[in-house]
Amino acid sequence: MLRRMRTMVVLTMVICLSSQVALGEIRESGTQDPPTSEPSVWSTAGYGVLCVATNILYMPAKVVYAGLGSITGGLAWLLTAGNTDTAKSIWSPSVGGTYVITPAMLRDEEPILFSGESYSK
């Protein structure tokens, strides 16, 4: 199972890198210059593949972090005799944030927030 996942990640990265190399060769040769306002098909496909590869590792980590934060916040609420502010100060950073990486995030057009915003009263 782990070997299969490792193989999928490596193949995804190879496809992504080869698409970026092919795009660079097209631009250098000058034979086919894509418009600057529109991303090329290779670039779009490369970012899509890179998103899948990134999300294979990122999404489970984020879900585990949010789940543990939810449990910890619930325990904090119980141990503080129902103090919601204490629980929310744990829940907000752990449950908030980005769950799925998008191509815009990889192009640095949008932020990637593993932790959500801190809770303030």
Q: CA separation (Å) from 98 to 9, 12, 94, 106, 113?
A: 21, 22, 10, 13, 5
pLDDT at 26 (0 to 100) = 46
Domain boundaries, the chain: 2-106
Rounded Cα gap, residues 117 and 121, in angstroms = 12
pLDDT at 65 (0 to 100) = 94
Residue-level pLDDT, tens digit, the chain, 121 residues? 767 767 766 656 656 555 454 445 445 555 555 555 566 666 677 888 888 889 999 999 999 999 999 999 999 999 999 899 999 999 999 999 999 998 888 888 999 898 888 776 6
Q: What is the DSSP letter of 110?
A: S
* Torsion of the alpha carbons at 79, 83, 87 and 89, rounded to the nearest 10: -130
Is the whole model's pTM more than 0.85, yes or no?
no
